[in-house]
Structure 1
Amino acid sequence: MTQSDQALEGRPTATVEQLEEEGDVAADYLEGILDIADIDGDLTLDVRGGRAYVSVENDDPTALSLLSEPDTVQALQELTRIAVQTKTGRFSRLILDVGGSRDARQSQLAKLVERAVSRLDEGASQASLPPMSSYERKLVHDIVAEHGLISESYGEGADRHTVIRRG
């Protein structure tokens, strides 16, 4: 969702200071979860593209293995967003990365797009991808644009998916 889409939905664009506050609230919340689970992790905060980004990292790749599964990261991100919204009173589009899980997912999405492009090269008029989160769809749209193709999202809620076609 672009910032203009966000404004159209009645959600004002967050300032850098508000996004930094989101990151701080998220970090406090995540530190509590890591403490409860007795998991060591270093948190880094960033603001880019109108979103707060929080990364949980550890030099030992196995230390975060339980938390870095895609479904677990998604669930933890949603819980963190709720905690931020409860504390700040504002909707949050915060992005959480655990142990490089976002880079791994972006690589998987790139492979998924490559397979879809192959179907188009073989004569398909369009290629549909499975439903995914808005953030993942945004990544797919960016990857598809790099290929010089067109992508659009269709469906509602958990069924929202991306369709790729030639221009």
Structure 2
Amino acid sequence: MSNSNSTTAEAEEIRGSVAVADAPEQDDVEPEVDIEALEREGDIAADYIEGLLDIADFDGDIDMDVEGDRAMVSVVGATLDELIGDKGEVLEAMQELTRLAVHRSTGSRSRLMLDIGGYREGRRRALARIGAEAADEVKRTGEVKPLAPMTPFERKVVHDAVAEAGLHSESEGEEPNRYVVIHPVD
């Protein structure tokens, strides 16, 4: 009897060590980025945006890039303020339409980012500064700090700045009045 118990124990030990050896550690696994698929998204988006610019009779040059895990399409030109709109509203709408065009073509949800006239890049810098300053205030006071409502893009930039400062933040509320709340360290 003791022989079968030791054999069972040895088998369990071997199975356990094999399972551990074969299982990748979760922290070390990063999802692969399919650069070709993102470049294809960028091409589809650029064609779509070019068509919109032609219809609206706007002049603009289109730049495409892949940044991290998303395609980036930028439109640069002299008179693009109408395509940005008040607080980026037209830009947001164009980005959603462009994402829909990419989705229709690829069958996959797109996280494409559209920038027009450098608006998003300038907004990103300003929001990163706002997030860092708010995080400093929360560190100093120890009090929770809610910010003004923001778009998903704006909230993402603020969340990143807060995380970089070593604090935790959450989005609360319902669109279009969703906002970031920064929490002190417990």
Question: Same fold judged by TM-score > 0.5?
Answer: yes
Q: How many residues align?
A: 154
- Give me the whole-angstrom Cα distance separating, in 1, the residues matched to 2:96 and 2:116: 13
- Give me the whole-angstrom Cα distance separating, in 1, the residues matched to 2:128 and 2:113: 19
Corresponding residue for 2:122? 104
- Pick one of 36, 57, 63 that aligns with 1:44: 63
Corresponding residue for 1:67? 83
Corresponding residue for 2:73? 54
Gaps of 5+ in 1: 1-11
Contact 1:128-1:164 at 8 Å conserved across structures: yes
Gaps of 5+ in 2: 1-30
Aligned-partner residue type, residue 126 of structure 1: V
Aligned-partner residue type, residue 105 of structure 1: R
1:70-109 equivalence runs, <5 A: 70-109=88-127
Contact 2:146-2:179 at 8 Å conserved across structures: yes
- Give me the whole-angstrom Cα distance separating, in 1, the residues matched to 2:182 and 2:72: 28
- Pick one of 18, 21, 25 that aligns with 2:44: 25
Contact 2:139-2:184 at 8 Å conserved across structures: no
Q: Report the structure number with the largest CA radius of gyration.
A: 2
Contact 1:26-1:83 at 8 Å conserved across structures: yes
- Greater RCO (Cα-Cα under 8 Å, separation 6 or more): 1
Q: 1:139 to 1:13 in 2, by over 3 A?
A: same
Q: CA RMSD in A?
A: 2.5
User: How much has 1:13 moved relative to structure 2?
Assistant: 7.2
- Give me the whole-angstrom Cα distance separating, in 2, the residues matched to 1:39 and 1:84: 21
Aligned-partner residue type, residue 109 of structure 2: F
> Once the two structures are superposed, what CA deviation does each residue of 1:113-165 show, in whole Å capped at 9, x if it has no partner?
35634653673611112333333222111111233322122345544322112
Corresponding residue for 2:181? 163
TM-score, structure 1 as length reference: 0.79
State which drifts further: 100-109 or 49-58: 100-109
Aligned-pair identity in percent equals: 49
